[in-house]
Amino acid sequence: MSLALDLAGRVALVTGGQRGIGRGISAVLVAAGATVVTCSRSEVDDVVPGSAHRLCDVRDPAAVTALVDAVVAEHGRLDVLVNNAGGAPATDAATASARFHERIVGLNLLGPLACAQAANAVMQRQGTGVIVNISSIAASRPAPTIAAYAAAKAGVDSLTRSLAMEWGPAVRVNAVDVGLCRTEHTDDHYGGDAQVAAIESTIPLGRMARPEEVGAVVAFLASDLASYVSGARVACDGGGEPPVFLHLGRTFAAATSQEG
């Protein structure tokens, strides 16, 4: 078996694939030889070279079905779905409206499910296909100010395992639990270079991920190199987050040492 990561001849649909992490994923898939179609709710001026873009709100099941049908009509098949579209603004869970929570769960959980259902129908007919769900480390830890988002991502991780069991052997389904990643919005979100540097100092690998590094994990899962990987959650988080008690313990030890 060749160890080359080759996606030539495969058609991939990446939701939210022209900005942030999604843009890095799309670029890597194009570089690996895939035909890449992306979608979002709005037009995009700067499309990833080698990709095509369509409009679609993934929270609308009818629009999702129409999108998948259009991709298949144009390219003859659909081999890879990357459920990347998602996100949420920071909000106090105690005061956020029911409508706000509904929209966050719709975008981050129900949208991926609708896309997966539409893609699976095609892939089952083909006899093969791969679905990669972009999840978050927030799915497995407390996530104040993004509680609904974190709960939805926990649902995505659970959904991944269930769909992998239901839809195999024709379709493989995996999730990538992404940690902190540098995008065009990183400085705005975290408050500038000094704050970002302080946050990066807590990551075992010493920095946030680049979108293309997440894309490389996705490309691996989409390729034949991962032919026996299904129902998995792959952490792409630079080694994780150190427990707070370790920091507090070191701080206390240092203070005690100085006093002595």
pLDDT score, position 212: 98
**Mean per-residue pLDDT for 6-15?**
97
Helix (H) or strand (E) holding 36: strand 35-40
pLDDT score, position 176: 98
Retrieve residue 54's tokens.
């369509």
**Mean per-residue pLDDT for 189-199?**
82
Residues above pLDDT 70, as percent of the chain: 93
Using one digit for the tens of pLDDT, what is the confidence trace for 101-114?
A: 999 999 999 999 99
pLDDT score, position 86: 95
Around Cβ 79, how many Cβ atoms within 10 Å? 21
Comparing 37-51, 52-66, 118-132, 232-246, which segment has the lowest mean pLDDT? 232-246
Class for the domain spanning 11-259: alpha beta
User: Which is more confidently placed, 52 or 251?
Assistant: 52
Mean pLDDT of the chain: 92
Q: Is 147 helix (H, G, I), strand (E, B) or coil?
A: helix
Q: What strands lie across the sheet with 80-83, from one edge to the other?
A: 51-55, 35-40, 11-15, 80-83, 129-136, 171-178, 233-236
Around Cβ 58, how many Cβ atoms within 10 Å? 27
pLDDT score, position 248: 65
Using one digit for the tens of pLDDT, what is the confidence trace for 207-255?
A: 999 999 999 999 999 999 999 999 999 999 999 887 777 666 555 455 5
Using one digit for the tens of pLDDT, what is the confidence trace for 84-142?
A: 999 999 999 999 999 999 999 999 999 999 999 999 999 999 999 999 999 999 999 99
Domain borders along the chain are 11-259
Residues known to be catalytic? 149
